[in-house]
Structure 1
Amino acid sequence: MQVASKTASDLHREGDEHTQAGRFEEALKSFQSALALDPLSAPLRFNIATTLHALKRFKETVAWYDKTLEVAPGLAMAHHNKATTLLLLGQIAEGFREYEWRKVCPGWADDARYALERPWRGEDLSGKTLFIFPELFQGDLIQFGRYALLAERAGARVILGAPAAMHALLATMSPTITLIADDAPTPDYDFQCGHMSLPTLFGTTLKTIPSFRQYLQADPERVARWKRRIGDEGLKVGIAWQGSVRANLRSFPLALAAERLGRIPGVRLISLQKHAGLDQLGALAPGAVETLGEDFDPGPDAFVDTAAAMTCCNLFITADTSGVHVAGALGAPTSVVVPYVGDWRWLERGMDCPWYPSVKVHRQRVRDDWTSVFDDLAKPIRKLASRT
């Protein structure tokens, strides 16, 4: 009895199953076999590209998104994913140009602000009002808030949209930037722009990223308050281990950090974690990680106590969360730990972060292995603690 050969659909489905199970090498083989039977399939070309990305074969990833676009030139997500891969490779100018395709991607295209009149396209801003509306998440707003300062330096009167909870922190960038709620009525303006388009409009390259050493400020009264609470003893290491519930792949287990770092003589781990992940504290021995109490950032203003506490610590260690952007914008010494395939803003290699001079990047060398990351971190922390 002859066994029927697998069809392209069979192999495609098989590749999807391998992907969901994290078997990326097997997934790639299945997708390639399917493509041999259906060579003009845009979905298969797209899946090959995304699988190569998961395997950290980034130059090949870009090539396969290009192959996808050969047969489906208007496929917005292929343009978007190609953009983030180019950014990860450090091809900043080209990546942000391609990133303009986000505006027609699912989940983005229904934002009515993209259709506002008078988009800024690089015209002289002297004496003009530029309305910058927010995109994506809190960390992105902090990271790209620096471009509001560049716009001011170019002579613009800047109106920056942001969630009301972010205003107290963002107001420290400049006293002359006007902040409005992200859901407020559209203000009067001469030009408007989404904040993720500003790098392209300012001609940003890897060498010209406006990497201000510090462009946010912690409130001095809060700094004094948390300094009294935290004290001066030991090497004070702030720690945040989880972003939103959706950020599990970027989160690390607090118990591992406590084991590898908290046992170093002189080291004090101090939780700067908010919301998701706090349940992990209950699994630790009492005192393994210090907490700052119920009055730590309890009110409507996000990050104001977090920013102050960060300046009271010798070092901040964090997963890829919005906290790393707060710390980086404050110029606070920070180590961000990222998974095997990290977000584009941390680039593909190296420890230095072009967006934040005070941030060092520590990467998984093996997928899902956080242990070696914290073993590597323990070495410089042990030296710092010995000098404290």
Structure 2
Amino acid sequence: MGGSAISEFSPAFIEAFNSGAAHFQAGRFTEAADVFRRLANERPEIPNLHGNLGLSLRAAGRPDEALEPLRQALRLRNDYPDALNALGGILLDQRNLDHALLAYQELVRMKPDYPSALLALGNLYMFTGDANRAREAYRRAILVEPEIATNHNNLGAVCLSLGDPAEAAHHYRRALVIDVGRPEYRKNLGTCLMMAGDYPNGTAAYEGRLEQGVWRKRNMPGVLWQDQPLAGKTLLVHFEQGLGDSFQYIRYASVLRRMGARVIYECQPALKRVLSTAPDLDGLFAFGEALPPYDYYVSLMSLMHRLGTTPDTAPGGVPYLRAEPERVADWADRLNRLEGGERPRLRVGINWHGNETGKSIPLECFEAMGRLPDVRLYSLQKVSGLNQLEQLRDRVRVTELGADFDSGPDAFVDTAAVITSMDLIITCDTSVCHLAGAMGRPTWVVLKWFADWRWMQHRLDSPWYPTMRLFRQARANDWAEVMGRVTTQVAALATGAMTR
């Protein structure tokens, strides 16, 4: 609560002011707001009354009502950090990022040691895509508040986004020293180390994710597998995260089978059919179906750690997923009809839109590729991103596969069949790239500047998929440049000047 020299006021005024402060301290924020509103109406020239009203309303969960009192307090007193911090916080919650940024910039200028002000400023720079300024703000936050673990964790995140996993790991470890064993920081350290190629330490730290409340947790009955002998035992492996993860890591069934296990896998319901071709599974069950008895269970994403995976020992066996022969034949016929019986030299299946921020390629970046001689683009996109097809149909030449393409309850069965008939798949970082890679098809993945940890750093290939090439942004958010390189390579491939 903002302080004020109120000794000049009447005893009744002072008593009311103190009662408002007492209500606030006791957590009775609505009662506090009622008191400060009445006092502010009586003495509208006093900034602290408006400020305390705004602080009380915000604390009472009424942020929209708090905005005007806070602004009035700042009009009357421009050096009022509590009001400015509250105003910035409300604007941030409302995702009014530009105005929140101005508020926190002014707060830091006014009072650099205001608690968490530099942290909030760094967060805002990250939200607005200015990683370099975010890094500077977090560094200043650590100088002001060196024992706040969040400062180190967030600095680690921005360093990783700027391509410096060594500095990122240093700050993640510092966060773990301050807040010992916090699962979020362990997981973050794990992703950082795996991005740098240190899988032995990275996969161990990545296990911290299983203790985070925000992650999908399973209360599986039975005994967790923690390296107990598997000979003659039934091991239930259950999915944990995205669809692409199931495509990427289902290959571990073969490793577990060689260890003597009977392996059953519980998958996302939509994937049961497309995963039915995976080898070395003794049972495949959709989430919600009754499971048979088992001796141990383990999360799919924990197998990297439990089996000691490194980039050099990633399980192979590609291809290990296949399309249904009947679907392949049907789609081969449909593609032939779409082409009028004149097959282009290069069929390219494209998938441009993902669900995570920053991973999607603007469809317009495929315009030049779609005009190449002897190249025909086919859309593998489903649900999201289709509005771009409608908007750019006159500019980007993409063949659409019809409303019935993967329209049933079983995801990817048509996609897998079409992938089989393609000469090349070009995709952003989404589940399609993992399916195509698991099928052993020529696949080019176009990655944002700060790519997911599984693609590591700088590599142009993937230890997980031998038929995959990686194309990375040279600069953050610059899709045009990287897609220019991809288009040049497609042109060379179409003319026979290079191999896939």
Partner of 1:265: 373
Offset at residue 128 of structure 1 (A): 1.1
Partner of 2:387: 279
Separation (CA, whole Å) in 2 of partners of 1:249 and 1:177: 38
Q: Which secondary structure state, in structure 1, belongs to the residue aligned with residue 469 of structure 2? A: strand
1:266 alignment partner AA:
D
8 Å Cα contact 1:240-1:273 kept in structure 2: yes
8 Å Cα contact 1:249-1:339 kept in structure 2: yes
Separation (CA, whole Å) in 1 of partners of 2:368 and 2:182: 45
Separation (CA, whole Å) in 2 of partners of 1:132 and 1:300: 23
Which string of whole-angstrom CA distances, capped at 9 and with x for unpartnered residues, describes residues 252-292 of structure 1?
Answer: 111111x2311111110100111101111112245710011
Q: 1:175 to 1:122 in 2, by over 3 A?
A: closer
101-110 or 139-148, which deviates more: 101-110
Separation (CA, whole Å) in 2 of partners of 1:206 and 1:221: 36
1:23 alignment partner AA:
D
Partner of 1:53: 160
1:351 alignment partner AA:
L
8 Å Cα contact 2:238-2:265 kept in structure 1: yes
Q: Which secondary structure state, in structure 1, belongs to the residue aligned with residue 264 of structure 2? A: strand
Q: 1:133 to 1:305 in 2, by over 3 A?
A: same
Partner of 2:331: 226
8 Å Cα contact 2:190-2:203 kept in structure 1: yes
- Number of corresponding residues: 383
8 Å Cα contact 1:77-1:102 kept in structure 2: yes
8 Å Cα contact 1:238-1:269 kept in structure 2: yes
Q: 1:175 to 1:35 in 2, by over 3 A?
A: closer
8 Å Cα contact 2:149-2:178 kept in structure 1: yes
Partner of 1:129: 234
2:215 alignment partner AA:
W
- Match for residue 173 of structure 2 among 49, 66, 81: 66
2:457 alignment partner AA:
E
Offset at residue 110 of structure 1 (A): 4.4
1:78-97 correspondence runs (5 A): 78-97=185-204
Which string of whole-angstrom CA distances, capped at 9 and with x for unpartnered residues, describes residues 163-198 of structure 1?
Answer: 222111111013753011223345311111111111
8 Å Cα contact 1:8-1:34 kept in structure 2: no
Offset at residue 4 of structure 1 (A): 5.0
1:138 aligns with 2:254: no
Offset at residue 109 of structure 1 (A): 6.8
Which string of whole-angstrom CA distances, capped at 9 and with x for unpartnered residues, describes residues 198-220 of structure 1?
Answer: 12221211111113221001111
8 Å Cα contact 1:149-1:173 kept in structure 2: no
Partner of 2:339: none
- Match for residue 368 of structure 1 among 477, 483, 488: 477
1:346 aligns with 2:451: no
8 Å Cα contact 2:204-2:305 kept in structure 1: yes
- Match for residue 294 of structure 2 among 189, 203, 220: 189
C-alpha RMSD of the superposition? 1.9
1:243 alignment partner AA:
G
1:165-204 correspondence runs (5 A): 165-174=270-279, 176-204=281-309
8 Å Cα contact 2:349-2:379 kept in structure 1: yes
Q: Which has the larger radius of gyration?
A: 2
Separation (CA, whole Å) in 2 of partners of 1:300 and 1:11: 48
Q: Which secondary structure state, in structure 2, belongs to the residue aligned with residue 212 of structure 1? A: coil
Partner of 1:327: 436
Question: TM-score w.r.t. structure 1 length?
Answer: 0.94
81-90 or 101-110, which deviates more: 101-110
Q: Which secondary structure state, in structure 1, belongs to the residue aligned with residue 272 of structure 2? A: helix
Q: 1:282 to 1:109 in 2, by over 3 A?
A: closer
Offset at residue 233 of structure 1 (A): 2.5
Q: Which runs of 5+ in 1 are unaligned?
A: none
1:120 aligns with 2:120: no
Separation (CA, whole Å) in 2 of partners of 1:74 and 1:122: 22
Q: 1:109 to 1:182 in 2, by over 3 A?
A: closer
Q: 1:364 to 1:234 in 2, by over 3 A?
A: same
Which of the two has greater helix per residue? 2
Separation (CA, whole Å) in 1 of partners of 2:383 and 2:216: 30
8 Å Cα contact 1:131-1:187 kept in structure 2: no
Partner of 2:206: 99
Offset at residue 17 of structure 1 (A): 2.0
Q: 1:285 to 1:274 in 2, by over 3 A?
A: closer
1:293 aligns with 2:364: no
Q: 1:248 to 1:67 in 2, by over 3 A?
A: closer
Q: 1:251 to 1:185 in 2, by over 3 A?
A: same
Question: TM-score w.r.t. structure 2 length?
Answer: 0.74
8 Å Cα contact 2:264-2:281 kept in structure 1: no
- Match for residue 348 of structure 2 among 234, 237, 260: 237
Q: Percent identity?
A: 37
Separation (CA, whole Å) in 1 of partners of 2:267 and 2:203: 22
Separation (CA, whole Å) in 2 of partners of 1:311 and 1:109: 33
Q: 1:128 to 1:375 in 2, by over 3 A?
A: same
8 Å Cα contact 2:265-2:285 kept in structure 1: yes
1:308-323 correspondence runs (5 A): 308-323=417-432
Separation (CA, whole Å) in 2 of partners of 1:322 and 1:313: 17
Separation (CA, whole Å) in 1 of partners of 2:405 and 2:216: 37
332-341 or 20-29, which deviates more: 20-29
Separation (CA, whole Å) in 1 of partners of 2:268 and 2:111: 55
Separation (CA, whole Å) in 2 of partners of 1:279 and 1:311: 26
8 Å Cα contact 2:235-2:264 kept in structure 1: yes
